[in-house]
Amino acid sequence: MILTITMNPSVDISYSLDKLVINDVNRVSNTRKTAGGKGLNVTRGINFSNIPVLATGIIGGTTGKFIQEQLDEDNIAYNFYVTQKESRNCIAILHQGNQTEILEAGPRLDNDDVEQFLQHYKKLLNHVKIITISGSLPLGFPVNFYVNLIELASEYQIPVLLDSSGQMLLTTLKSQYKPYLIKPNQEELKQIIQMDIDVNDSHSLIKALKHDSLDDIPLIVISLGKNGAFARCFNHYYQVSIPKINVVNPVGSGDITLAGLAVSLHENESIEVMLKRAMTMGMLNAMEAQTGFVNMNNYHEYYQQVEIKEI
Ligand code: ADP
């Protein structure tokens, strides 16, 4: 089974307006509410691949209940640590081809929540083969919290796939307990290595991947949007090219790519198959309007068009 971790999930509310009028009333007839957070997108991606998955993290209040109901509707198994504090809403207003977002920070949690969640997490580890960690931490959680999760996973020899950014990622990379795989996009990679990268030049990408801070991470997949990906698996380097597709909404493509990587590791696939699967999933997400959704009927058509070249 794959365990997915979403520490700060949300109810994602999307309002479609013909026009957003500032300092006036805007009435909305077209509203969509879904369970959100990067880790829940990963969970959906794994579920679409028919691999057993369990979602965990922290939820609370009526928003927390709504998140559970949404996962029930999608037949996704979950076991969250539940607090008294209300989970967050994230609002996206779609207007005239623009997207204006209002993102709540979420509840401020305390040390007791940190301890309680760690106890909760430990109890889930018995039947888990792979763990994915995505996104940011709740307010009040220490920046090295993901290190704690990876350390506990290492006691059970469970590899952890980490998709995070900023100080949470940098702190984890400096720690003694490393993730098995990271999937930075171009911006996140720049944050890690603090230098410019030319994504069209494999020498530049290899140099970036040889950066000291990435030394002990077996698998690194740099996702490059429409340019596919560049990956390092131990000391082998791979250029991954993808076909041109009709992009409808690329939000969440990185999460679904991580789902593909997790599924592939779970199924003990080769690095070539893993990269092809991950890219195909990312593309399928980008071709749909709904974030975190893929139409698996198109899987084989696009899978065949992904090309892997060892450099
Ligand atoms: P993130 O969402 O983390 O920033 P990317 O934008 O790199 O990640 O997207 C992850 C993957 O999704 C890409 O490697 C690719 O397979 C697919 N993808 C994303 N955007 C596009 C696009 N515009 N065209 C084709 N594929 C895309």
CA of 256 to the centre of ligand 1 (A): 9
Give the pLDDT of residue 246: 93
User: Measured over all CA atoms, what is the biggest interatomic distance in the chain, rounded to whole angstroms?
Assistant: 58
- Give the model confidence (pLDDT) of 254-266 as tens digits: 999 999 999 999 9
Q: What is the ipTM of this complex?
A: 0.98
- Give the model confidence (pLDDT) of 151-209 as tens digits: 999 999 999 999 999 999 999 999 999 999 999 998 899 989 988 889 889 999 999 99
Give the pLDDT of residue 33: 92
Give 251 or 50, the one with higher predicted confidence.
50
The answer, yes or no, to whether residue 81 has pLDDT greater than 90, is yes
Average pLDDT, the chain: 95
The answer, yes or no, to whether residue 75 has pLDDT greater than 90, is yes
CA of 112 to the centre of ligand 1 (A): 38
Tokens coding 16: 């479609």
- Give the model confidence (pLDDT) of 264-305 as tens digits: 999 999 999 999 999 999 999 999 988 889 999 999 999 999
CA of 229 to the centre of ligand 1 (A): 9
Closest by CA position to 35, among listed 66, 61, 57: 66
* Closest C-alpha residue for ligand 1 atom 25: 226
Sorting pLDDT into bands at 50, 70 and 90, what band is 71? very high
Give the pLDDT of residue 97: 82
Q: Give ligand 1 pocket residues (Cβ under 6 A).
A: 185, 223-226, 228-229, 242, 245, 247, 250, 253-254, 257, 279, 282-283, 286
